[in-house]
Chain A
Amino acid sequence: MQSTLSQPQKAALPTKTETISGSKAVLEALIAEGVKTIFGYPGGAIMPIYDALYDYSDQLEHILVRHEQGGIHAAQGYARTSGDVGVVFATSGPGATNLVTGLADAMIDSTPVVAITGQVFAHLLGTDAFQETDVINITTPVTKWNYQVTDAAEIPAVLAKAFYIARTGRPGPVLIDITKNAQLQLFEYEGYKKCDHIRSYRPKPNVRKEYIEQAAALINEAKQPFVIFGQGVILGKAEKEFIAFIEKAGIPSAWTIMGMSAIPTDHPLGVGMLGMHGNYGPNVLTNECDVLIAVGMRFDDRVTGRLDKYAKQAKVIHLDIDPAEIDKNVKTTVPVWGDCKETLPMLTELIEPKVYPQWLQRFRDYAQQEQEQCIQPELHPTGEVLTMGEVINTLNELTGGDAIIVTDVGQHQMVACRYANYNQTKSNVTSGGLGTMGFALPAAIGAKYGDPKRTVVAVIGDGGFQMTLQELGTIMQFDVDVKILILNNEFLGMVRQWQQLFHDRRYSFVNITSPDFVQVAKGYHIDGNSVRERKDLKEALSTMLNHKGAYLLEVMVGKENNVFPMVPQGCSVAEIRLK
Chain B
Amino acid sequence: MTKQEFTITVYTENQIGLLNRIAIMFSRRKINVESLNTSPSEVEGIHRFTIVIHETEEVVKKLVRQIEKQVEVLKAYYNNNEELIWQELALYKVSTDEIAEKVKVERLLREYGARAVVIRKDYTVFETTGHREETDKLINVLEPYGLIEFVRSARVAIIKASSGFHEKLREFEAQEPSEEVVENEYLDKQDEVFTM
Q: Which residues of A contact B (CB under 8 A)?
A: 1-3, 5-6, 44, 121-126, 136-137, 140-141, 144-148, 150-151, 154, 165, 180-181, 198-201, 322-324, 327-328
Contact = CB atoms under 8 A, between A and B. Distances in A.
Contacts of B189: 123
A305 B188 CA distance: 55
B120 interface: no
Interface in B9-57: 12-13, 16-17, 20-21, 24, 28
Nearest to B23: A140
B62 interface: yes
Contacts of B74: 199-200
A121 B28 contact: no
Contacts of B177: 3, 5-6
A124 B195 contact: yes
Interface stretch (B65-73, B86-94, B111-119, B129-137): B65-73
Given A5-B177, A200-B72, A327-B62, A123 B187 contact: yes
B71 A144 contact: yes
Given A140-B17, A201-B71, A154 B182 contact: yes
27 contacts: A1-B180, A3-B176, A3-B179, A3-B180, A5-B177, A121-B186, A122-B187, A123-B186, A123-B187, A124-B190, A125-B184, A126-B187, A137-B17, A140-B24, A141-B28, A144-B71, A180-B195, A181-B193, A199-B74, A199-B172, A199-B178, A200-B12, A200-B73, A323-B65, A324-B62, A324-B65, A324-B68
A180 B28 CA distance: 32
Contacts of B28: 141
A5 B174 CA distance: 10
Interface in B135-152: none
B82 interface: no
A96 B61 CA distance: 34
A150 B179 contact: no
B62 A146 contact: no
Contacts of A136: 17
Contacts of A323: 65, 68-69
B17 A146 contact: yes
Interface residues of B, number: 36
Nearest to A326: B65
Nearest to B28: A141
Given A1-B180, A140-B21, 20 more contacts: A5-B177, A6-B176, A6-B177, A121-B186, A122-B184, A122-B187, A123-B193, A125-B184, A140-B17, A145-B72, A150-B185, A151-B182, A180-B195, A199-B74, A199-B172, A199-B178, A323-B68, A324-B62, A324-B65, A328-B65
B69 A324 contact: yes
A141 B24 contact: yes
A201 B182 CA distance: 19
A140 B20 contact: yes
B179 A2 contact: yes
B185 A122 contact: yes
Contacts of A324: 62, 65-66, 68-69
Contacts of A5: 176-177
Contacts of A137: 17, 20
Nearest to A154: B182
Nearest to A323: B65
Given A125-B187, A200-B73, A1 B179 contact: yes
A199 B66 contact: no
B24 A150 contact: no
Contacts of B24: 140-141
A334 B54 CA distance: 29
Contacts of A200: 12-13, 71-74
Interface string B161-196: 000000000001001111110101111111001011
Contacts of B188: 123
Contact of A121 (B62, B71, B180, B193): B193
B193 to A, nearest CB: 6
Contacts of A151: 182, 185
A145 B72 CA distance: 9
Sorted nearest first, the 6 A-B pairs with minimum C-beta distance are A122-B186, A123-B186, A324-B65, A6-B176, A145-B71, A201-B71
B187 to A, nearest CB: 6
A122 B62 CA distance: 37
Contact of B71 (A2, A124, A165, A327): A165
Contacts of A124: 190, 195
Contacts of A1: 179-180, 182
B146 to A, nearest CB: 40
Nearest to A47: B196
B185 A199 contact: no
Contacts of B61: 327
Nearest to B65: A324
A158 to B, nearest CB: 9
B178 A123 contact: no
B93 to A, nearest CB: 33
Contacts of A180: 195
